[in-house]
Chains A and B, each alone.
Chain A
Amino acid sequence: MELVIKKSKIKDWLEVLEKDFKIIDARKEVLPPKQHFFPVKEDLFSFNLKSKKLKTIDQSENILLIISSLNKLEAMTQLDEIMEKPQKDFFYWQKRDKSVIVGIVDKSIKVPYGGDLVLEKINQKEYRTWVLNSKGRKLLKDKFFKKVLKPRIINYSKEPSPLKKMLLDSELLAEAVEWSWQSDHKIWEKLAGKCLGCGICTYLCPLCHCFSIEDQVSLDNSKCFRCRQWDACTLPKFSQVAGGPASPSQGGHNFHKTIKERYYNWYYHKFVRAYREYGKAQCVACGACAKNCPAGIKIGNVLKEIVKDYKKR
């Protein structure tokens, strides 16, 4: 028995849900879904410079987020886990707690690794339903979802990408990436020459989550907003502090001076540290970084080369 919704009814169903939720269709968005709970830039606090009053900015919203990619659904599950440890990130969960994630996926699904409710395309006209939790169950409306004993199921599955297959062995990836740095593998020098250090890969990654916090003061000097914005570990100032041995013109001591160190650090975090912290790599093989890298670096190819040499060592 399957719970099925007609493709033509999805729009009507969402219209009914619009009473309770702000519906965001992220299916065609360039930036990853993380942006709706961890925005590119957000105000955390407002501070009145005259009265010295500090106010937390309430950004809680009932969002219903629609995602079409299975990889990005999986990324949201991982990001939830990251934002929960070691303590809950207040501003992320302020939005995430009240929101629901719906997957509308035009591919066949073996197991959905994310979302609260996932609709899987089974033929040109119908989607079947995967209910992942009670949040997802609450979205079901009898008017639109019907129980069907044996619906017509067409297989839309695609062969997983080589990177996706490699991610199945996160342990091997962690070992190989760490080995490549310790053994001074030539690839890092080559990539340092290629990488522009623009940070686009980290912004488009559905799992990258580093940020910086800064204060912005209104022009009349009456109010200050403490904002958090996305940062990128490949940017030159990511680990730079004021003072220290560097000359003032260089702005202070930099703990990650070269692009080689910074670019490796990105891989190290994703494949080594993440594996040690969470038991899996912080990559879902969505391909966004490879597709958008202005220097044409393909993370999958980099890992393939490292793993190949690691096995040969």
Chain B
Amino acid sequence: MKNIYKPFKVEIVKIEDHSKDTKLFRLQKEKGNFSVNDQGLVSHPGQFVLISNFGYGEAPFGIASSPFEARYIDIVVRRVGCLTKALHQLKKGDQLFLRGPYGNGFPVDFMSGKDVIMVTGGCGIPPIAALTEYIIEKKWKFGRVYLIYGARTPADLLMKDNLEKWNKDIKVILTVDQPDKNWKGYVGLVSKIVKEIKVDPLDAVAAMCGPGPMIDALEHILRPLGISDRRIFVNMERKMQCGVGKCQHCTVGDKFVCQDGPVFNYDQIDKAWD
């Protein structure tokens, strides 16, 4: 009988500061690579892993690295609670434990052949980053691709090196609420952004992460573009203890966010979900 709760050891091989309270951790297995499926994927973009720091607990984190990257898994951690504070004190070479990947991920097969608009804000970037990497790797399969990424200030934008790199293959649109004097991007999730996006609404899909940008993006971008709810996919967050459909913490209505999600069709979820 498989022990579904048992994590395996990983080593922190790299830590990057991404903002004043957010760090990226690169995790490698003790020996060899992470296992890949028959499509050559370590995870489906949008899936998450459960990270254990024994003594402090276990929590879910979205995978930020490319699904094709088998040598390591990146997670991006904002310091908000006890476990994340403890993670921020770790150094390169320290060990953690990992379970997963879990969840469904974005429906990349349905999305292929279509224009894609990705929208996220703040620390909702990891699953969208994995999806972006997937799309760029399989660029010929997708139409026009946009990433709209918002944050409170320019300093709060995470994965900046990647944003620059991605901008060569897809259109990256950045926006902040409080600009500084060097800021050249947008301010706020404004309707002006819509003018930059050229998609066929009948053949476009949207992928989002995070509750905040979801409502704003719907109102200012996706609705004006004419994208139907059925073509909007949202990566949700909930409290989780087990990650495998047992503990009941992440349930919303008749769905388990850990098993049925974390990616849901916007049409499928109750509009009252926060």
Contact = CB atoms under 8 A, between A and B. Distances in A.
Given A56-B6, A213-B247, A255 B238 contact: yes
Contacts of B3: 56, 90
A238 interface: yes
B175 to A, nearest CB: 20
Nearest to B245: A86
A90 B54 contact: no
A255 B97 CA distance: 27
Q: Main SS of the interface on chain B?
A: loop
Contact of A269 (B54, B241, B248): B248
Contacts of A212: 241, 247, 249
Contact of B54 (A47, A85, A88, A211): A47
Nearest to A52: B95
B2 A88 contact: yes
Interface in B1-32: 1-7, 9
Given A242-B84, A272-B254, A211 B241 contact: yes
Contacts of A86: 244-245, 259
Contacts of B57: 213-215
Nearest to B3: A90
Q: Size class of B's contact patch?
A: 35 or more
Given A217-B55, A243-B80, A45 B241 contact: no
Given A212-B241, A252-B80, A276-B254, A93 B54 contact: no
Q: Main SS of the interface on chain A?
A: mixed
Contacts of A94: 1
A213 B58 contact: yes
B81 A215 contact: no
A224 interface: yes
Interface residues of A, number: 46
B56 A233 contact: no
B115 interface: no
A56 B4 CA distance: 11
A239 B247 CA distance: 11
Interface in A240-284: 240-244, 252, 255, 265, 268-269, 272-273, 276-277
B5 A90 contact: yes
A45 to B, nearest CB: 7
Nearest to A93: B1
Nearest to A202: B248
A47 B97 CA distance: 11
Interface of A: 44-45, 47, 49, 52, 54, 56, 83, 85-91, 93-94, 97, 209-215, 217, 224, 226, 231, 233, 238-244, 252, 255, 265, 268-269, 272-273, 276-277
Interface of B: 1-7, 9, 52, 54-58, 78, 80-84, 95, 97, 237-239, 241-242, 244-249, 251-254, 259, 274
